[in-house]
Structure 1
Amino acid sequence: MAVKVLLVGCGNMGRAMLVGWLVSGKLAAAEVAVVEPNEALRQRASETGAAVAEHVSQLPAGLRPELIIFAVKPQVMRAVVAEYCGFATGRTTFVSIAAGIGIALFESLLGEKTPIVRCMPNTPAAIGKGMMVTVSNAQVAPAAETFLADLLSVSGRVLKIDDEGMMDAVTAVSGSGPAYIFHFIECLTAAGERVGLPAEAAKLLAMQTVFGAASLAAESDTAPGLLREQVTSPNGTTAAALQVLMGQDRLRKLIAEAVEAARDRSIELGK
């Protein structure tokens, strides 16, 4: 059985993707090879049954995967990608899940005719609840895009965009977005304690409320704004709280400022 996917880097995100492919049956262990220089991470990868190497030079001669997926930190991406130029024959599609690294960098290292996909995941992908956004250069074949989307679907929802310029905004909303929600849970938990709830009860109420509300919004055909209105009785407790959050567009403006700051930082990192 030929190797279809070469995974470069098997940290938390890389391993989550690998395990998802194998458990879901999207790939057999024999169809995946992993390059991971860290011994502990390499050992964890080998436990999945996939072929594992410390360095690209240790891979079998003649290996021609359909996809090479780079799951390494942005700081080392240039040095790592340069080691895979030998695969840039046009038959292999290169995929990056690193934030802030544009397609142009890969084209400069691998050649402008090399098929390249840039993907922005987020951390819930580790439990199959992520948001995966992709953008491709003109060299990527439809079959490769379909194959990749099928693999990524194991990690959550997949959205393909055509304008790479949107990726900084994607990073600001879904890439960094889980941290905003985690902080909201922290704040709601602390507020619960402040009004008299025990710490564990406040934490449970905050987490389950965010989880339930997000699930309802995702599964309902009703717009979030209408769902909010359905919960809000006139002059009731929810209305009193929303007057604080929504008065003078307080929360809307704060979230907008946060997202703009993240987008601007993503632009800076990509220069």
Structure 2
Amino acid sequence: MTVPPLVFFSFVTLEGAGPAEHRAYNEWHQLDHRPENLALPGVLWGDRWARPADYRDGVASAEHAATDYVAMYWFKDPIEQSLREWSDLGSDSFQWGRGPLIPGVQRKLLSFFRPVKGYAAPSALVSPDVLPYRPNRGLHLTLSRHAEPHSGATHEHYAWQDRTLIPGLLDLDGVAGAWTFSFAYHQSHPSLPLATETPDAAESLRIRLVYLEDEPLDVSAAILKRTAELAGDREVGLSPEAAASEEVLLSTPLRTIVPWQDW
């Protein structure tokens, strides 16, 4: 896979919904919405994950604490055409009465990010470009805000992630690899209400995905433990200024959805 110019993330909440509502949403997304998107020539890949109740012990801001599902789509060049066809599908789906405006669904983040860098664990025996297509058991996702995205402290934090943190996670059992993403802009679509009115500056948000091939709760616990150890290490850890540059908005394990089994 040639690294695409943009990746789309959707954080979805079904606040107060019961099993019937979750099943209806999963059926729509897995059997209708996702296949229609994957058939578009400009979509390289798309996937989604669940965040059930027992996956919510991590850090979460008020805005993202109730996140139930995360979806992502990778787009290829020519990006303008790819996004236009994808947006047109959303409008067509609304006209067909098949979404994306689904009762009870709240989208707390609808945003495009630029892929920064991929990392593959030696045990995975593949390149980072292959990770999105490779089967996984789930993810560990970190969404952060850097209020001063081009400061020296933020630069130090990014260098530490690239040279210390992520390499330190790749040798953990159950970690297949990781990708980092930098915020580009929020989506605006006529068939959907704005997910956020926050005027986030370009590159002020960062997403780190760690791809998991073992039980997500167990691997995520190991990831958090290793992260704390590396951050606090006197020789390779973060300076106080670099640590303070990051506001973690969501740090959570996610579980891969198995159609019908997880509905």
Structure showing greater Rg: 1
Query: Same fold per TM (> 0.5)?
Result: no
- Specify the TM-score bucket, using the shorter chain as the normaliser: under 0.3
